[in-house]
Chains A and B, each alone.
Chain A
Amino acid sequence: MNSRKCLAFEIVANPAAVDALCARAETWLIEGGLGTESFPVAMLLRESLNNSMLHGSGGDPTAQIRCHLQRGRKWLKITVEDDGPGFDWATRLECRADIENCHGRGLEIYRLYADAVDFNRRGNRVSLRRRIAEVMTS
């Protein structure tokens, strides 16, 4: 697998592992000439990992989360999967958080920073696609 095009991880469901993965992803972006994507990708990646950690793993800090980052010429794709029961995306995806509600911002982050959001039927795997400016690589 070409590490410049793809990055794959399997981590345990705890905040330190999420932080470490996000730091590694940022380095990967910078090394690939996509430093300007660091913030939006970090937002998407962190949100997906947090959802798996907080909701998909049932509070089990040893549960596994799988993550895959892939870049094409004009897009980045983030896939995060856990072994939990899944997110009820069909009824929740279009919900808008009321401003006074301190929950529900994760989907708003997806809408802000991803151009496409897809869940598998069970809802335990999310794929996020983001358009990027084409980077000339040697």
Chain B
Amino acid sequence: MTTVQVQKNDATVTLEGALTVALAQELRPQLQKAVAEGVSSVVFDLGRADVVDSSGIGLLIATHNSLKTKGGRLRVANASPEIMNLFKAMRLDRHFSVEGRQA
């Protein structure tokens, strides 16, 4: 089950399964609200997510854009090798931190 945990200025989204259109639509207002209320650091933990689609990527970029206007930052952690390759091919790693899974 995907969870969103907020502690002071930090939010962690722990994904389970897939960051795809339905979940992206569900998470977007939650994260917008969190950033509006002062969250300045968001971590997406993809350790248990193996699928992402363009809506999921759109959510990451939208969150990055929201955080950037407030001086905050987005970090993607524990991405699978396939998702790492996808994000690098899209040059997303040049705009926010993307870390792969530990071997």
Contact = CB atoms under 8 A, between A and B. Distances in A.
Nearest to B52: A43
A119 to B, nearest CB: 17
Count chain B CB atoms within 10 A of each CB in A42, A47, A53, A101 and give the residue with the most: A42
Contacts of A102: 57-59, 61-62, 65
Interface residues of B, number: 23
B54 interface: yes
A108 B54 CA distance: 9
Chain A interface SS verdict (over half): helix
B86 A42 contact: no
A96 B50 CA distance: 25
Contact of B55 (A50, A99, A112): A50
Binding site secondary structure of chain B: helix
Interface in A55-75: none
B90 interface: yes
Contact of A39 (B82, B90, B92): B82
Interface residues of A, number: 22
Interface of A: 15, 18-19, 22, 39, 42-43, 46-47, 50, 53-54, 99-103, 105-106, 108-109, 112
Given A39-B50, A47-B53, A109-B54, 10 more contacts: A19-B18, A43-B53, A50-B21, A50-B53, A53-B21, A99-B91, A99-B95, A100-B95, A102-B65, A105-B90
6 contacts: A15-B21, A39-B82, A99-B61, A100-B65, A102-B65, A106-B54
